[in-house]
Structure 1
Amino acid sequence: MRSILLLLLCAVSAHAAPNILFIVSDDQRPDTIHALGNVVIETPNLDRLVARGTSFTRAYAGYPICHVSRAQILTGAHAFKALPKYPGGAIDPKLATLAGTLQKSGYHTCYTGKWHNDGHPMQRGYTTTSGLYSSGGGKGITQPETDDRGRPLTGYRGWTFKDDQNKAELHKGVGLQPDNSRHIADGAIHAIQTAPKGKPWLLHVNFAFPHDPRQWPAGMKNRYDPAKMPLPTNFVAKHPFDHGNIDGRDEQLLTTPRLESDVREELAIYYAMITDLDAQLGRILDALPAPDDTIIIFTADQGLALGSHGLLGKQNQYEHSIRSPLIICGPGLPKNERSAVLVTLHDLFPTFCELSGIEIPSTVTGKSLASLLRHQTGRVHDFVTGMFTDTQRMICDERWKFVLYLKAEREQLFDLQNDPHELHDLSELAAHQAKKEALRIKLDSWRRANEPR
């Protein structure tokens, strides 16, 4: 009798568990949502999510490069733990994964879109894929070497969509095509429509836009006029020193010193790619059978410079790159709220668990944001950290940011409260030495406890 009751309780629990839609964009700056203050960009569907949930304005990626950031999301652990052969290689197989944890708790788990980690999604806890976009499969297919502006096409070379048997769908093109987001949305919608009845599902959707190669999305040529695009407040023609990626692939997409006209053109296409992504997001939201009962989280793997501080890529510790947009919606959660509390992307795994009533695995180092969302606490982190290769380390609290450039032997200190665009480096001013040293001590302590030796 007792065993029957337990089975009934488990069945009720599984039925009551919420569906989860988890959307991640690629290289999307945190300041690119209309409802959060960007008056130029058009994002009506992201604005819908802003109205339905809590928008975190200080969500930190931790490690601003695609595969590392995504490894942190998948494992709920910081980069040094997620990738034992940091900063590359395979995810540590001893770590629990987001999808695997939900799958073991009765969820149907599906992966859609860009896969930029080792192996295959089904080796990381996903039951199936739909609209998978990953490297390989385009062998022997000739791709253009330049875009329609004559600039080199260096991103996503040889990438293809794959069917559920992992066979390349060459009719959808090779590389990052202008209709990439539509194909990803098609895969997500198919996954929603074919999800098994009677059990909750996790649908993890990774868009490849607005990552380069930048191109006008299908049907959106000249949606934004480059001449009318405002430059970032912290635009400069050239970064003052080698921050650790000054000659990286991303930084070579435009000439240096940066020309205002080039950056405006890049921003126009970048905004169009986000607006196209937003339209495809709207299609996915409209396909949800019970949107009000679904946990919906939108974020990006990191931001991007695009002219800020004289940089183009994301491999830096400035706010425009190390932060991501983050919106969390769900049944019983606050609507149309903003939060400036410090959070990280590897907090999302434990947040999913707590909102779903699932025990958080012991290997997770992130902190659940559920109590924050429910106004039961006002803080989850005293500080957050950032890193890139062996060249950059960062720590910031609610007001101050300290950046250490290990190879350049440079430091920066910013007062984010009074200087949110990081225009004034205070690291050499006598009045701020005590603050700088206090942050350095905290950073050194964190590094001793967490960095591989």
Structure 2
Amino acid sequence: MRLRWGRSLSLLFLVSTLHAAPDILFIVTDDQRPDTLHALGNETIHTPNLDRLAAHGTAFTRAYAGYPICHVSRAEMLTGCTPFRACQQYPSGVINPALKTMAQTFREAGYHTWYSGKWHNDGHPKQRGYTGTRGLYTSGGAMGLPEPTVDERGHPRTGYRGWTFKDEEGKPELDKGVGLDPDNSRHIAEGALQAIHDTPSGESMFLHVNFAFPHDPRQWPTDETHRYDPAKLNLPRNFAPVHPFDHGNLQGRDELLLPTPRDAEAVKRELAIYYAMISDVDAQIGRIMGALQEVGRKDLIVVFTSDQGLALGSHGLLGKQNQYEHSIRSPLVISGPGLPEGQRSEALVALRDLFPTLCELTSIPIPATVQGLSLVPLLKKEVSQVHKFVTGAFTNTQRMICDGRWKFISYPQAKRKQLFDLDADPDEMHDLSEQSEHQERITSLEKTLQNWLREQGDPLLVSPGAKR
């Protein structure tokens, strides 16, 4: 089936004219590093379906999450706004009710809007504009059923505790397990398959599929074909036993999954399972694409991304709550009929840009509340950039700005600064912030960052209650 949809994809993209409402498949994974697609240079990992998607679309290699933690990043995508506006009370996960959501916008335009998989925001998908859910995976509903507290390697199992799949009426489907089990991605994909078949004939579909893999607890998927030998894996080039200072999350849940200092062999074992979980997701994406072909959903726009990346040993960290490239960036591929194929873009883009991009691709007016910028001019090669810089934040401990080459990170609580030349040092191993020849550059970047943060209503710079 995976080969079948791949062979036919190029034929589908030869359609010269979009009909009034092309179908949309919007796929989001959880904590997937930007360097984990075979087609984009990772020679170890096996991702044939994502590679095929990249071959028929545009891969954006500089896509940034505004806030590298699940619920806030997802709020940014759902609303098309920066974290400071997407969240009613930054940095809580409650979505600002004054903002139009992506699903609401597409539903009002006549789409049947489906949600499948992980829901990590407040309320329920139906309260955010989704027509229905299939394979919904949310917190709660375990009814006291026991879960293991450690994994097979003896490490803490602290992610997704008590989460369960829910049916359309919200009843827990306990036969699918409690917590994150090895079949999680298959259950989510089967929910997506059901949504495809339940969409009324002739009605356009917006299918939002949210995989919980490769988030921890890391575990081998049920399909044993997705296995990697830790001994054959390379550590990240910027692997380090410890991080040099408390960046604001050194005692966070993610960082406690392995002892410090980080052991190289232990990190390789984690990386092997992490890769296996990504390959398992890739296989499920192949199933979904095959099902779309079978039912004749041929006029199809596909977006693939992740809510953020993950350190997994880089810079001595394990979690995603940092501003380094491996964590603040996400993989991003966009494909669709009439769009260029096999392209790579190094333009700076943000996850909040996906909302207006999909609107423009479907000729739907972009809501006035959306702050993101459409990437369609980049896709069509009409411009070389839409953002002069991108930014990042985490709690009150991290603020970041990157203009493409230079990245400046401020740690307000730690009273530290970092400056990296990403052209010369893409792995961010040489902090230039103490060098005298770069002080003028730091001043300029910091001023631009503070002005932008003030405009967004950053509570570090704007008093509580100030209008945003």
Same fold (TM over 0.5): yes
Write the mapping of 1:288-303 to structure 2, written as runs, cut at 5 A: 288-289=292-293, 290=296, 293-303=299-309
User: Of residues 336, 340, 351 in structure 2, which corresponds to 1:334?
Assistant: 340
Pair 1:131 & 2:100 matched = no
Write the mapping of 1:221-300 to structure 2, written as runs, cut at 5 A: 223-289=227-293, 290=296, 293-300=299-306
Q: Which amino acid aligns with 2:372?
A: G
User: Of residues 147, 152, 156 in structure 1, which corresponds to 2:156?
Assistant: 152
User: Of residues 142, 147, 156 in structure 2, which corresponds to 1:143?
Assistant: 147
Pair 1:93 & 2:125 matched = no
Identity %: 65
- In structure 2, C-alpha distance between the alignment counterparts of 1:131 and 1:305, rounded to whole Å: 29
How far did residue 89 of structure 1 move? 4.0
- In structure 1, C-alpha distance between the alignment counterparts of 2:413 and 2:142, rounded to whole Å: 38
* Corresponding residue of 1:417: 423
What are the superposed Cα offsets for residues 186-235 of structure 1, whole Å, 9 maximum, x if unpaired? Answer: 01011111211112110000000000000000032881111111000000
Pair 1:41 & 2:45 matched = yes
Work out the number of aligned pairs and report it.
441
Q: Which amino acid aligns with 2:377?
A: S
Q: Secondary structure at the match of 2:121?
A: coil
Cα contact 2:226–2:280 (8 A) shared by 1: no
- In structure 1, C-alpha distance between the alignment counterparts of 2:407 and 2:19, rounded to whole Å: 45
User: Which shifted more, 296-305 or 283-292?
Assistant: 283-292
- In structure 2, C-alpha distance between the alignment counterparts of 1:92 and 1:179, rounded to whole Å: 33
- In structure 2, C-alpha distance between the alignment counterparts of 1:205 and 1:176, rounded to whole Å: 16
- In structure 2, C-alpha distance between the alignment counterparts of 1:355 and 1:222, rounded to whole Å: 35
Cα contact 1:354–1:360 (8 A) shared by 2: yes
Cα contact 1:14–1:199 (8 A) shared by 2: no
Q: Secondary structure at the match of 2:61?
A: strand
Write the mapping of 1:373-384 to structure 2, written as runs, cut at 5 A: 373-384=379-390
Cα contact 1:15–1:199 (8 A) shared by 2: no
* Corresponding residue of 1:55: 59
Q: Secondary structure at the match of 1:417?
A: coil
Pair 1:319 & 2:309 matched = no
How far did residue 16 of structure 1 move? 2.2
* Corresponding residue of 1:370: 376
User: Which shifted more, 239-248 or 84-93?
Assistant: 84-93
Q: CA RMSD in A?
A: 1.3
Q: Which amino acid aligns with 2:195?
A: A
* Corresponding residue of 2:395: 389
- In structure 1, C-alpha distance between the alignment counterparts of 2:309 and 2:23, rounded to whole Å: 27
- Misfit runs of 4+, over 3 Å: 289-292
- In structure 2, C-alpha distance between the alignment counterparts of 1:62 and 1:222, rounded to whole Å: 31
- In structure 2, C-alpha distance between the alignment counterparts of 1:297 and 1:166, rounded to whole Å: 28
Q: Which amino acid aligns with 1:306?
A: L
Q: Secondary structure at the match of 2:331?
A: strand
What are the superposed Cα offsets for residues 43-92 of structure 1, whole Å, 9 maximum, x if unpaired? Answer: 00010111010000000001000000000000000101011211114111
Cα contact 1:15–1:198 (8 A) shared by 2: no
- In structure 1, C-alpha distance between the alignment counterparts of 2:69 and 2:303, rounded to whole Å: 20
- In structure 2, C-alpha distance between the alignment counterparts of 1:35 and 1:219, rounded to whole Å: 22
User: Which shifted more, 148-157 or 283-292?
Assistant: 283-292
Cα contact 2:23–2:297 (8 A) shared by 1: no
What are the superposed Cα offsets for residues 322-350 of structure 1, whole Å, 9 maximum, x if unpaired? Answer: 00000000010010000000000000000
Q: Which amino acid aligns with 2:414?
A: A
- In structure 2, C-alpha distance between the alignment counterparts of 1:27 and 1:399, rounded to whole Å: 24
Over 3 Å counting, the alpha-carbon distance change for 1:24 and 1:217 in structure 2 is same
* Corresponding residue of 2:20: 16
- In structure 1, C-alpha distance between the alignment counterparts of 2:63 and 2:98, rounded to whole Å: 27
User: Of residues 386, 400, 411 in structure 2, which corresponds to 1:405?
Assistant: 411
* Corresponding residue of 2:212: 208
* Corresponding residue of 1:360: 366
* Corresponding residue of 2:353: 347
Q: Which amino acid aligns with 2:454?
A: R
- In structure 1, C-alpha distance between the alignment counterparts of 2:156 and 2:51, rounded to whole Å: 34
How far did residue 371 of structure 1 move? 1.2
- In structure 2, C-alpha distance between the alignment counterparts of 1:354 and 1:65, rounded to whole Å: 27
Q: Secondary structure at the match of 1:16?
A: coil
What are the superposed Cα offsets for residues 110-130 of structure 1, whole Å, 9 maximum, x if unpaired? Answer: 000000000000000000000
Pair 1:173 & 2:177 matched = yes
- In structure 2, C-alpha distance between the alignment counterparts of 1:210 and 1:37, rounded to whole Å: 19
Q: Secondary structure at the match of 1:288?
A: helix
* Corresponding residue of 1:440: 446
Q: Which amino acid aligns with 2:221?
A: P
* Corresponding residue of 2:69: 65
* Corresponding residue of 2:188: 184
